Amino acid sequence: MSKASFPFDHLVVIHYHWRPGGVRRVVELTLPAIAEAAGSSLKRVTMLSGGNKSERPEFGTLGIPVDFIHEPACDYFSNQEETPQTISEKIRHVLCRAVGENVSSRTLIWFQNPALARNAMLCREVADICKKAGAALFLHHHDFWCAGRWARWNELERCGCRNLPSAAQTLFALGTRSVHAGINLPDFQTLQRSFPQTAFHLPNPVLRSAASSSGNIEAAQAWVAEELKCGGPLWIYPTRFLRRKNLLEAILLTRWLRPEAVLATTSGQFSLDEADYARDLKQAAAKYGWRVHFGLLDKPGAPRVADLLQIAETVVHTSVQEGFGMSFVETAASGTPLIARAIPAVMPDLAAMGFEFPQLYNDICVDPGLFDVEAEIQRQSRLAESARERLPAPFQKNFPTLAADVEGCFFFSRLTRHAQLEVLAHSPTESWKACMPLNPCLERFRSTPLAPTPWPTRALHTPARYAEEFLKIASSIPHAPLDLPLAAESAQMELTARALAADSIYPIQLES
């Protein structure tokens, strides 16, 4: 694409927050490449978010003016204290400020994760300003509320979405000049069936960063020594408190495979709807004396995640749900061994790029003697009924029954938090002895040296290539909204059908 052909001179990047993690990392990697690919066509960039004002992406100098605008009303709805009307008014005001007085078809809004439904009022106001001013909208879908985030329905209702069609039209910005980008193949294929002309596959970029300098490595080692104040190997889980990250499984793996290691998360932050989960994990860690440290990099002056990965002995990743799996790639780039769950939505894209991960496992089988099975069955039954009642009526009849995964054993990832904590209350020696025969791949990880992930030899989806695809997709945005009245509802229903399959339901995501 010729740089002069990029039809936008102002790029507005919107996300609920800039907390460390996947979306922020994607923006950090790609925005410089997008600015370079756009050349002189792009005159300025505006970054709009809620969250903590002190947090912002780190991408250096773009060579053009960059404005950072912070408005707490843009953060997750669950973190808001004001009335919906006040929140909407603040969002409307800050959007007018962000896009500028001369907003036109030359403005492109790059909206991160709208259909996750963390703030439907932000989605509505973004769509409204695009409709009124003719601005183009690039809807970047990392996740979806109807892919298992059922707690979002109550928030959607409180944000003014009266029914499922209303929610779909709001989250997929019906009536705007827009395109939809999915970051993995299953999501893209679903979107494409509903938006055949305006849905695209845009996987996250892959970049093998340079090895950290000796000074950075020494500084990271000193930081870890000061923070942990105990000996032992360092195992890292690059995450904050999120139920879908399945943190208790990471703790179990570490206690089984390397009981002398300290498992640390990079962040200890959590949103209000994860507060109970964070509290229970912290209390259990203190009660049982687990060798864990939550939030290793939370203090000012902390080393970079990339530096930490390089000094760790092992990285673990036990998430039950991801959009792309940036941690897989970044760990491979670090040269540190990775132990990870094979996430069905993630593996096809990574395999297509040539990644082969030596220490993947599908699930951890748990001997039923390690927890109260009858009580757990009753808990899961109550949890399923409660979850079913909170769903919109059209979804309720399709919600599956929660039950044991296989005869004679349960999968740890499909236990409630209470049962997971019961398993972890046993000594690692006792629980490993009971579960070792059920998990031969873990026995292999325990008995042989862990291997780093080989870096693929084929050409990868670099930030520069990503930028080229981004510009092509943005340039394809229609000059007028397409007449697709049922497309948003169709996409939402198909995503929901996938999420309500029995193998997609995890009790830890249904709990508060």
Q: Are strands 410-411 and 365-366 parallel, antiparallel or unpaired?
A: antiparallel
155 near 395, Cβ under 8 Å? no
> Alpha-carbon distance 145 to 317, whole Å?
22
For residue 69, give the nearest of 93, 104, 101, 43 by alpha carbon: 93
Q: Is the dihedral of CA 410, 260, 215, 302 positive or negative?
A: positive
> Alpha-carbon distance 504 to 146, whole Å?
12
HEC sequence for 305-342 = HHHHHHHCCEEEECCCCCCCCHHHHHHHHHCCCEEEEC
Alpha carbons within 13 angstroms on the beta-carbon side of residue 466 total 22
Q: Angle at the Cα of 325 (from 173 to 66), degrees rounded to 5?
A: 55
How far from chain centre, in Å, is Cα 435?
Answer: 30
Q: Are strands 292-293 and 136-141 parallel, antiparallel or unpaired?
A: unpaired
> Alpha-carbon distance 446 to 101, whole Å?
61
Say which amino acid occupies 337: P
On the question of a common fold for 7-205+461-510 and 214-447, the answer reads yes
- CATH fold of 7-205+461-510 reads Rossmann fold (3.40.50)
Can you give the pLDDT of all 512 residues of the chain as single tens digits?
A: 444 478 999 999 999 999 877 899 899 999 999 999 999 999 999 999 998 898 999 998 999 999 999 999 999 999 999 999 999 999 999 999 999 876 678 999 999 999 999 999 999 999 999 999 889 999 999 999 988 788 889 999 999 999 999 999 999 999 999 999 999 999 999 999 999 999 999 998 888 877 889 999 999 999 999 999 878 899 999 998 988 999 999 999 999 999 999 999 999 888 888 899 999 999 999 999 999 999 999 998 999 998 999 999 999 999 998 877 888 988 998 999 999 999 988 898 888 888 999 999 999 999 999 999 999 999 998 888 888 888 888 888 888 877 544 456 799 999 999 999 999 999 999 999 999 999 999 999 999 999 999 998 876 788 999 999 999 999 999 999 998 889 999 999 999 998 888 888 899 988 87
Strand partners, 180: 139, 199
> Alpha-carbon distance 109 to 86, whole Å?
23
138 near 178, Cβ under 8 Å? yes
As a whole number of angstroms, the longest Cα–Cα distance in the chain is 68
Q: In what order do the strands lie in the sheet with 338-341?
A: 292-293, 262-265, 234-237, 314-317, 338-341, 360-361
What token pair was written down for 460? 């990868």
Query: Where are the chain's structural domains?
Result: 7-205+461-510, 214-447
> Alpha-carbon distance 57 to 76, whole Å?
18
For residue 254, give the nearest of 431, 418, 373 by alpha carbon: 431
Query: Which of helix, strand or coil describes residue 207?
Result: coil
- CATH fold of 214-447 reads Rossmann fold (3.40.50)
pLDDT digits (tens, 9 = 90+) for 429-469: 999 999 999 999 999 999 999 999 999 887 678 899 999 99
